[in-house]
A and B are shown apart, each in its own frame.
Chain A
Amino acid sequence: MHDIMIALRDVSKWYGDFQVLRNIDLQIGKGQVVVVCGPSGSGKSTLCRTINRLESIDKGTIEIAGQPLPCEGKALRDLRANVGMVFQSFNLFSHLTIIENVTLAPRKLRRSSKEEAHRHALQLLESVGIASQADKYPAQLSGGQQQRAAIARALAMRPQVILFDEPTSALDPEMVGEVLEVMTRLAEEGMTMLVVTHEMGFARRVADRILFMDEGEIVEDRNPNDFFNDPATDRARAFLSRIL
Chain B
Amino acid sequence: MKQNALFDSPGPRGLRLIRIATLIWVLCLLLIGAYVVWRLDARGQLAPQKWLPFVTNIKLLKFLGDGLLQTLSASLVALVLSLLAGVVLAMGRALGLAWLSLVIGAYVQVFRGIPVLLNMLFLFLGVPLVLHLNISAYTVVVIALLLYNSAVIAEIMRAGIAALPAGQRSASLALGFSEFQTLRHVLVPQAIRLMIPALISQFIIIIKDSALGFIVGFHEMTAKAQNAALQLGNPLQTYIVIGVVYVAINLAVARMSHWIAHRKTHAASGH
Contact = CB atoms under 8 A, between A and B. Distances in A.
Contact of A54 (B170, B189, B267): B170
B87 to A, nearest CB: 15
A95 B193 contact: yes
Contact of A93 (B173, B186, B267, B269): B186
Nearest to B265: A95
Contacts, number: 69
B271 to A, nearest CB: 9
Contacts of A87: 167, 170-171
Contacts of A82: 176
A77 B171 contact: no
Nearest 10 interchain pairs by C-beta = A81-B176, A139-B270, A91-B171, A91-B167, A85-B174, A105-B175, A80-B176, A77-B176, A137-B267, A137-B268
B168 interface: yes
Interface in A143-176: 150, 153-154, 157
A89 B165 contact: yes
Size category of the A interface is 20 to 34
A80 B175 contact: yes
Interface stretch (B50-58, B141-149, B177-185): B177-185
A94 interface: yes
A83 to B, nearest CB: 8
B237 interface: no
B226 interface: no
Interface string A86-105: 01011111110000000011
18 contacts: A54-B174, A80-B173, A80-B175, A84-B174, A91-B165, A91-B167, A91-B171, A93-B171, A93-B190, A94-B190, A95-B190, A104-B175, A108-B181, A109-B176, A109-B177, A139-B268, A150-B171, A157-B176
Size category of the B interface is 20 to 34
Given A82-B176, A91-B168, 17 more contacts: A54-B173, A54-B174, A80-B173, A81-B175, A89-B165, A91-B171, A94-B190, A95-B190, A95-B268, A104-B175, A104-B185, A109-B176, A137-B268, A139-B268, A139-B269, A140-B270, A157-B176
A92 B167 CA distance: 9
Contact of A77 (B167, B168, B177, B189): B177
Nearest to B178: A77
Interface of A: 52, 54, 77-78, 80-85, 87, 89-95, 104-105, 108-109, 136-137, 139-140, 150, 153-154, 157
A79 to B, nearest CB: 8
A216 B167 CA distance: 23
Contacts of A85: 171, 174
Contacts of B172: 93
A90 B170 CA distance: 11
Contacts of A93: 168, 171-172, 186, 190
A95 B171 CA distance: 14
Interface in B231-271: 267-270
B170 to A, nearest CB: 6
Nearest to A94: B268
A89 B166 CA distance: 11
A21 B171 CA distance: 23
Nearest to B166: A91
A80 to B, nearest CB: 4
B174 A80 contact: yes
